Amino acid sequence: MPRPVTLLVLVALAGLPTLPALGQPAEEPKVEVVARGLVNPWGMAFLPDGRALVTERPGRLRIVNLRAGAAGAPITGLPPIAAMGQGGLLGLALDPDFATTRQVFLCFAESRDGGTGTSVFRGRLSASFAALEEGQVIFRQMPAGNTSRHFGCRLVFGRDGTLFITLGDRGNMEKEAQNLANHIGKVIRITKDGTVPPDNPFVNRTDAKPEIWSYGHRNVQGATLHPETGRLYTIEHGARGGDEINQPQAGRNYGWPVITYGIDYSGAKIGEGTRKAGMEQPLFYWDPSIAPSGAMFYTGDKFPKWRGHLFTGALAGQLLARLEMRNGQVIGETRMLEREGDRIRDVVQGPDGYIYLLTDDREGKLLRLVPR
């Protein structure tokens, strides 16, 4: 079969034809298994001592000792978590001042009146690393939904200390992604205590939720900051085709479900087409979909040729995509690890400069990529 074609949209050249770009033969690194036995791991962050803090979707937070290759006992003090369908304990982030505050932020599916919704919890990791203390929910996506799909749920701290939260359209409320009066299909920006930054784009509008940063998103499951500009980049799931990379800017509309490069799972058309005035074009999109997941820009010294490249895992695609960037635009894609056959849920650069991956499986693994 021919290799699937990845389609590149150059925003700077809007109006010109879409450029096809085939994934290039991969420069395959060596894959090492660091730990096994993780149950559907979803998110990962490195503690200052080099150990990895990992979420498991059924509702557990564990610390993995990379040298021993073993995960510790579940950390206590977590909120009640709705582990159903795509929901559960999902993304996480450490306070940028973690060495002082020991604060951990968790994104999770929460049961409440009306169904379930994405929420964010903050707690202080105890000195023994065994519990989260003084925990509180600092954000709740409103309204709740009656499905177990499209929770979004990546957390990224901006350089100014504000927290970005990615949210989905809950799978059956796609039209609400265009409605500024709710949190469905939005990227959210709040402070560490859950309050609204005064420079958010909709703080002075009575018809909009002040937490909203950008809107018109389907299901954002990858988010990271550009290492030079500090700008947020997100990666979201399309339907059949139309997975997108965006660089969400304050107050901008990213089109879902009015414009998309995908079609419905039934084969039916979605929305009005691929372009509309007042709606942003993606930096890059995939067709067919790969079901992208966690994302990061590489800045380490172990793979010097890859510095500045954007990485994302893929679930349905069972691969790691490396995207070469130039002037903020994607200029090429390389697909790696396709022979491994793993659903890659998260990709994180370790403090040692190696690349670490989580595989989404009931017998999930923490993998390390090293040069050959």
Per-residue CA distances from 39 to 18, 81, 120, 204 (Å): 40, 15, 21, 44
Question: Rounded to whole angstroms, how far apart are CA atoms 239 and 184?
Answer: 17
Q: Which residues pair with 116 in a beta bridge?
A: 111, 145
Q: If you search the block for the tokens 């018809």, which residue do you land on?
A: 207
Check: CB of residue 49 under 8 Å from CB of residue 354.
no
Phi and psi, residue 210, nearest 5°: -70, -15
CA dihedral over 335, 338, 340, 343, signed as positive or negative: positive
Tell me the two tokens of residue 270: 């979605």
Answer for the pair 263, 226: CB distance below 8 angstroms, yes or no: no
Residue 59 vs residues 28, 36, 84, 107: alpha-carbon distances, Å: 33, 17, 10, 11
* 83's tokens: 């582990």
Tokens of 144: 């709740």
Cβ partners under 8 Å of residue 48, min gap 6: 98, 99
Q: Quote the CA–CA distance of 241 and 247 in Å, as a whole number.
A: 19
The Cα 289–Cα 135 span in angstroms is 38
Catalytic residues: 150
Contact 324, 20 (CB under 8 A): no
Widest CA span of the chain, in angstroms?
A: 58
- State in Å, rounded, how far the first CA of the chain is from the last one: 29
Q: What is the amino acid identity at position 300? A: G
Check: CB of residue 265 under 8 Å from CB of residue 215: no
Q: What is the dihedral of CA 174, 166, 293, 26, to 10 degrees?
A: 110
